[in-house]
Chain A
Amino acid sequence: MNGIATAPVIEVKNLTCGYGETVVLQNVSFGVHAREVLFVIGGSGCGKSTLLRCLIGLLKPFHGDIAYFGKSFTAADTGQRRDILKTFGVLYQNNALWSSMTLAENISLPLEEHTSLSRADRDEIVALKLTEVGLAGSEDLYPSELSGGMQKRAALARALALDPGIVFFDEPSEGLDPIISREMDELILQVRENFGTTMVIVSHQLSSIFRLADRVIMLNHETKGIIAEGHPAELAATSIDPRVRDFLNPNNDLPKQTNENSAGGTKLIFK
């Protein structure tokens, strides 16, 4: 797409991560360019969320490096880390809005923490952010007073509070009906158009992937790494890997299971 700069804004090199002694991803390397919408896709349990937790600093990788705008995040000291945290926003799968605070306080808190803006200025920014996501006038509502779709928008407003260069999304369409989900996609595109934000989206919602993605990387739990990378439509049409084709072409029949213990499409588990 137009306007992609050459130097990646996120650079992941030889990342190995997991929980305890379990390695979930091994030697994963990729880059994300400015203004790009990158989807991280793959079947359940392939390490999408683990990768995201590493990228946003909630999980310490075993090896490898993650760099934002050329600065290492994994090797950063407390001060540098704080600076890097300002450069990205995160929209969590379950929104993770601070439930004891109003929407205004939710959006205002990152501003309070990282800027020296006056209360009045912060209030103006809050109003602006809420308007951007279509929630004008909802400043004094608590997250529990909003519907799922509205909470998602509010969470996006909070993620955008500091005008970050990068926004991470964890399953942004999860739990939304198809129309609200499409509206959310439009909103994501609009934010990218208005602010030139780089987006990294973890999702397996095919409609969103084909609508939004400039590029996808597909993870696989067996190889513990990336098995495909490219534009989703091209991958769907040209990939020779059946795992990629089957994932991106939902209308294809699933391959017949050859396992003698399997029958039909469903599988019962007896204990």
Chain B
Amino acid sequence: MNTQSTGDKTATAKVQAGVSDVECRVQIGGDWRLNERVPSWKSVFQNRMAMNVRVVSDDLGKWDTSLVLFLVHGRAWCAASKKQFHAEALPENLQALLRQVPVNSAAKPPVEASVKPWELASNIAEKWADHAQQSVSFLGECTLGFIGVAKNPRRFRWLDCLVEMQQCWASSLPMVSLVSFLVGVILAFQAAVELRQFGAAIYVADLVGLSIVRELGPMMAAFIVAGGTGARFAAQIGNMKVDDEIDALETVGISSVNFLALPRMLAVTVMMPILALYANVLGVLGGMFVSATMLNIPASAYWIETQNRVGFSDVSSGLFKCLFFGLAVGLAGCLRGIKCERSAAGVGTATSSAVVTGIMLIVLADALFAVIYNVLGI
């Protein structure tokens, strides 16, 4: 006679297995709870030889799925080792539950072999093609929408656009201030270390001014707007999609692109150069702060040097790029929102995807502009 019961106090599930000449008799008793340790069939039935297995209950208390699972495993074990499994002596409701589970339920379908590399590549390519097609068709819808607005500006939702502009400005301002000022400070520090050795500390102003105005100011502003406003667009629109609000727009005959995407895209496109200009000013101030405190260059001298080196074309070329950065952020945010899956996880994915796509488009656009400006000699 072999008895197995679990050691801890709360678990009282018991199994006793006794072997006679003709059958192995299994007595189950006690309380069976999923959240307690219960005996496992395999540990009880090692090396049992009898051809018949008969399960009976003896002082069986409260039980739940853990007992059913124990019996299912037992039955599967019996089937696999060609033994007869008898459960007729068990309570009727337990038998009924056992009958619901097919005998071969324990036999899991064979796990599919790992995905072939070329299948994986084709899946990824398909996904990208799908994304590209979505983006192009969305871009087309937006273009048609903007043409429609140009023809009939009264139909455009100007108030929504203004509200979005205000929100974009208000939510981005603190981060843009901090980040661009610090970028100016960092640049000036780095430049000062090198330039001071040659007695050329005043050129810190040139370096900081040009880097900030041509590249870093617009870029930092764009990244912050992509992370804040772009993500907000995707989350807002995605949530509307989950709640069927976009369907409700479509069935009223209102295009979701015209109603939701265009005002947001225009708002962020208009605000981006303004924020970038602000970032430029803060960045130059950061450089000025380091020069004044560390290099003993008076603020006025720093300012005059910056004015001499940084021209209108430098500022305007940086700000012109920003229009496209803004468009990229708006496009990514609204596209991901409108194509969002109808679930909470879908909104999360759409939001993070909007930020990633936005930043990627910004960097791509910046690279493109670097080449164009180089060719044009700006």
Chain A interface (Cβ within 8 Å of chain B)?
Answer: 56-58, 81-82, 85-86, 88, 90, 92-94, 96-100, 109-110, 113-114, 158, 260-264, 267-268, 270
In this complex, what residue of B is CB-closest to A270?
A: B101
Q: How far is the CA of A93 from the CA of B68 in the complex (A)?
A: 39
What are 25 A-to-B residue pairs whose CB atoms are below 8 Å?
Answer: A56-B251, A57-B251, A58-B251, A85-B251, A88-B251, A92-B244, A92-B247, A96-B244, A97-B245, A98-B249, A109-B252, A110-B252, A113-B253, A113-B254, A114-B252, A260-B99, A261-B102, A263-B99, A264-B93, A264-B96, A267-B100, A268-B65, A268-B68, A268-B100, A268-B101
Docked-complex contact A99 and B252, CB < 8 angstroms: no
Docked-complex contact A98 and B100, CB < 8 angstroms: no
- B72, B100, B240, B254: which contacts A263 (Cβ < 8 A)? B100
User: What are the residues of chain A within 8 A of B105 when measuring CB–CB?
Assistant: 270
User: What are the residues of chain B within 8 A of A90 when measuring CB–CB?
Assistant: 248, 251
Q: How far is the CA of A263 from the CA of B102 in the complex (A)?
A: 12
Within 8 A of A (CB), among B245-266: 245, 247-254
Docked-complex contact A96 and B100, CB < 8 angstroms: no
B304 within 8 A of A: no
User: What are the residues of chain A within 8 A of B102 when measuring CB–CB?
Assistant: 261
- Min CB–CB distance B144 → chain A (angstroms): 10
In this complex, what residue of A is CB-closest to B96?
A: A263
User: What are the residues of chain A within 8 A of B72 when measuring CB–CB?
Assistant: 270
User: What are the residues of chain B within 8 A of A158 when measuring CB–CB?
Assistant: 248
- A58, A82, A99, A109: which contacts B247 (Cβ < 8 A)? A58
Q: How far is the CA of A108 from the CA of B24 in the complex (A)?
A: 78
Interface string of B66-87 (1 = CB under 8 A from A): 0011001000000000000000
In this complex, what residue of A is CB-closest to B246?
A: A96
Interface string of B93-118 (1 = CB under 8 A from A): 10111011110010000000000000
Docked-complex contact B250 and A57, CB < 8 angstroms: yes
User: What are the residues of chain A within 8 A of B65 when measuring CB–CB?
Assistant: 268
Docked-complex contact B101 and A261, CB < 8 angstroms: yes
Task: Given the known inter-chain contacts A99-B245, A270-B105, please indicate yes or no for A109 contacting B254, CB distance below 8 A.
Answer: yes
Interface string of B269-297 (1 = CB under 8 A from A): 00000000000000000000000000000
Q: How far is the CA of A85 from the CA of B105 in the complex (A)?
A: 51
Docked-complex contact B253 and A114, CB < 8 angstroms: yes
Q: Which 5 A-B pairs have the closest CB atoms?
A: A263-B96, A96-B244, A85-B253, A96-B248, A110-B252
Docked-complex contact B100 and A261, CB < 8 angstroms: yes
Of B249, B250, B253, the most chain A CB neighbours within 10 A belong to B253
B88 within 8 A of A: no
